[in-house]
Amino acid sequence: MTITDICLIAVAAVSVFLLCGNVFLILRHLSQKKKLDKLQKSTSLLLSTVAHDLRSPLTSIKGFADAMLDGAIDNEKKEQYLAIISSESDRLSRIASRLCEQDGSALSGEVFGICEQIRRAYLLVEKKISDRGLSVDLLFGDDETYVFANADACFEIILNLFENAAKYCADAGKIVWKAEEKDNKVYVSVKNSAIVMPENFDVFAPHERGRGATGAGFGLGLYISKKLALRMGTDLDFCAYTEDGKSFCEFSLCLTAAEEI
């Protein structure tokens, strides 16, 4: 073997070594980039979730405060609006405290009336529903139904479901709420006529999922509601179906029944 051959072999070995080194660096860079992208995505989702949680009570407070400043309401309405502003301010404080807790931790429970929560949530979205020409049926009468669960989490779920129905209900459609007690359980459900949804459509996915009838993208409300239900030890179920040629969607939540305090 000549010196030239030895030099060529040495050059080839060094080239292979450098190539392997470059491949290793490229793979390491891709791995780090993937981890960074995942971290950025998680951070973005967390910030979006926090913003969504805080925006709801802030929007309600501003809306009712603006209505009072317009001076077009009577004293009875004024008292009602002030009570809502106070209640939403308290809820805002509790939401801030909840956001400081571990995301997967279980939520504490208490006894409260679930029908009253649905009525209170209706007041907060009434204008949106009226603007779209929708109607609402509350099929539980004047009698209260009591449950043992986390009151703030349940109200957040109900409000999110109300807002979701107000956005994506078919034009001039109807939103129907039920609260039925059976076998020591209370089944809360909301149904509305809906736009046609594609098959295998995950309504709880935490990302933009197309555009609804109002032109607005699907937000984080349903994702947050699902997480809250799981933290209460239950689940939020969804089904979409067709009846008499019309599309409907329905969400349901199962809670533990309780006696009035």
**Do residues 240 and 249 lie in contact, with contact meaning Cβ atoms separated by under 8 Å?**
yes
Q: Are strands 246-257 and 185-193 parallel, antiparallel or unpaired?
A: antiparallel
**Cβ atoms < 10 Å from Cβ of 247:** 15
Place of tokens 């993208």: 217
Who's near 76: CB < 8 A, 6+ residues apart? none
Cα distances from 67 to residues 22, 70, 72, 80, in angstroms, run: 65, 5, 7, 12
Pure H helices in 100-205: 114-131, 151-168
Place of tokens 């891709």: 30
Per-residue pLDDT of the chain (261 residues; tens, 9 = 90+): 566 655 555 555 555 555 566 665 666 666 666 665 565 665 555 556 666 667 777 777 777 777 777 776 777 777 877 887 887 787 777 777 666 665 667 888 999 999 999 999 998 888 889 888 999 999 887 789 999 999 989 999 999 999 888 888 888 889 999 999 999 999 999 999 887 666 666 777 765 444 444 434 445 788 889 989 999 999 999 988 888 888 888 999 999 999 876
DSSP β-bridge partners for residue 182: 185
Q: d(Cα 130, Cα 166) in Å, to the nearest integer?
A: 9
User: For domain 110-257, which architecture applies?
Assistant: 2-Layer Sandwich (3.30)
Place of tokens 């309780």: 258
The domain locations on the chain are 110-257
Take residue 11 and report the two structure tokens written for it. 């050059």
